[in-house]
Amino acid sequence: MKNFKNKVIAVTGAASGIGRALVEGLLASGARVAASDVDNTNLQRLREFAATELLLLSSVDVSDQAAMQAWANEVKTHFGEVDGVINNAGVALSCHASDQPREQMEWLFNINYWGVINGVEAFLPELMRRPEACIVNISSLFGLLSVPSQSAYNAAKFAVRGYSESLRQDLRETSIKVVTVHPGGIQTNIANNGRHLHSITGNAADVDKTAALFNSIAATSPRQAAKKIMLGMRKSKPRVLIGSDAWFLDKIQRLFPAWYDRLLVPMMTVGTRMALKRV
């Protein structure tokens, strides 16, 4: 997708963070955008950026397969075509595996994993008809390496990575490019809107403390992340790493795949304890 002029791109999780930055960036690049989120109040604030014929706003729960299919139909009806989908919506959960309630893990998987599958399946038939199309699935740095208290999040993001890499191979002979994105720490509301029972150090955690900690170490802005993603779409990059933390930790994991946790987790634990003293 060498340029976005007049292309129709659907974006989930568009009310804030990376999703909102993507909507703004795509509109500025001449695209027509279908933006969805469960947070309809903040979603409607995007109306200031474009008229109805350029921006379609829809309240959609990505975990609802039927709702996602209905949204895809709405986008096709409104714009007449769809050239790309960015499966960005996601939530956070921090809890040690031994204490993790099953329903909490299912809540996260329904959004972070099945939300991606629902997005791909809903839009794929229309994308197959386009001369040039793109699927962007947002994984995470935690789709490349694992850390304590993130077993559910790690599992879902690793699953998104595996699904996306296989999907790329299945679609290799088509006009559709698949881009998998692995952001590091991004200054978004994901921690504020998450569910947190334990910190990486094993201590009890709550939303306020976890959000403050995350915000103190997140180094990349949503706008910077959106620019990287859009560049990856233009260049049809199979993998996009965002942030110096993602680049560094990915290299460590690849160099020492069997024991990176023995090196990184103690470093992260010490860093977390120091950061907690500041928040």
Question: Which segments within the chain are labelled E, that is strand?
Answer: 8-11, 32-37, 55-59, 84-87, 93-94, 133-138, 176-183, 195-196, 239-242
- Alpha-carbon gap, residue 58 to 36, rounded angstroms: 5
Three-class SS of residue 185?
Answer: coil
Residue with tokens 């933006």: 35
- Alpha-carbon gap, residue 172 to 54, rounded angstroms: 30
Angle, CA 159 vertex, CA 154 and CA 160 arms, to 5°: 100
Three-class SS of residue 102?
Answer: helix
Nearest to 179 by CA among 111, 229, 119: 229
DSSP 204: B
- Alpha-carbon gap, residue 104 to 173, rounded angstroms: 39
- Alpha-carbon gap, residue 154 to 77, rounded angstroms: 36
Beta strand pairing call for 32-37 and 8-11: parallel
Active site residues: 153
